[in-house]
């Protein structure tokens, strides 16, 4: 995994595992993407997890990933980016209610699927409680960050292919990705 493990590590609940199809990480009304982007450091890992009891949003989620970290990604920041404008247009057409509920997003630059999804409860009750309270928001890890760094450093994952909208492709090209 080509990822910066020296800086911040973030965590985010999502309600689908097909992040590569969307090409973006969408945010709830309680935290828009612009605000999340202000606290995100380019190249920092974001742990993606399915809640223990997820709502069905864009199709069913396999029970084997509930309550677990299933992927890691890095993000780009486009201020004020509406999910409808930067997500894969096919997914926007298929799930318009999703982009209405999670109306802002940040592009995913790189995505790695974990060979074995890991229960995030293993990283302590503080993470579980913070994730429950700030469900769907991008949160910076506190205390378990060192343990998470060691775990991420030990993983061997292949980078997943991403489907990006033309706007995101142009943005990433300008960024030099």
Q: What is the pLDDT of residue 90?
A: 94
Placement of tokens 């579980």 in the chain? 128
Q: What is the pLDDT of residue 127?
A: 81
pTM of the model: 0.91
- Determine what percent of the chain falls in helix, strand and coil, rounding each to the nearest 5: 35, 25, 40
Q: What is the pLDDT of residue 70?
A: 94
pLDDT means per 10 residues, the chain with 177 residues, are 78 90 91 89 92 74 87 91 92 90 93 92 84 83 80 88 92 82
Instruction: Supply angle C-alpha 16, 44, 58, rounded to 5.
Output: 10
Q: How many domains does the chain have?
A: 1
End-to-end Cα separation, the chain, in angstroms: 16
Would 129 be classed as within a structural domain? yes
Taking alpha carbons only, the member of 90, 113, 93, 92 closest to residue 102 is 92
Would 149 be classed as within a structural domain? yes
Would 61 be classed as within a structural domain? yes
Would 2 be classed as within a structural domain? no
Domain that residue 74 falls in: 10-176
């Amino acid at each position: 995994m080509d990822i910066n493990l020296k800086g911040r590590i973030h965590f985010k609940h999502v309600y689908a595992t097909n992040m590569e199809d969307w090409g973006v990480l969408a945010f709830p009304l309680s935290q828009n993407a612009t605000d999340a982007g202000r606290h995100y450091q380019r190249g920092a890992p974001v742990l993606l997890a399915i809640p223990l009891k997820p709502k069905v949003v864009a199709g069913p989620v396999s029970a084997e990933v509930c309550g677990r970290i299933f992927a890691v990604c890095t993000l780009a920041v486009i201020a004020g980016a509406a999910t409808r404008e930067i997500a894969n247009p096919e997914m926007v057409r298929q799930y318009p209610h999703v982009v209405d509920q999670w109306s802002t997003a940040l592009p995913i630059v790189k995505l790695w699927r974990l060979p074995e999804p890991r229960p995030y409860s293993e990283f302590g009750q503080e993470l579980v409680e913070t994730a429950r309270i700030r469900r769907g928001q991008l949160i910076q890890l506190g205390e378990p960050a060192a343990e998470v760094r060691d775990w991420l450093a030990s993983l061997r994952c292949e980078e997943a292919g991403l489907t990006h909208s033309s706007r995101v492709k142009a943005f990433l090209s300008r960024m030099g990705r």
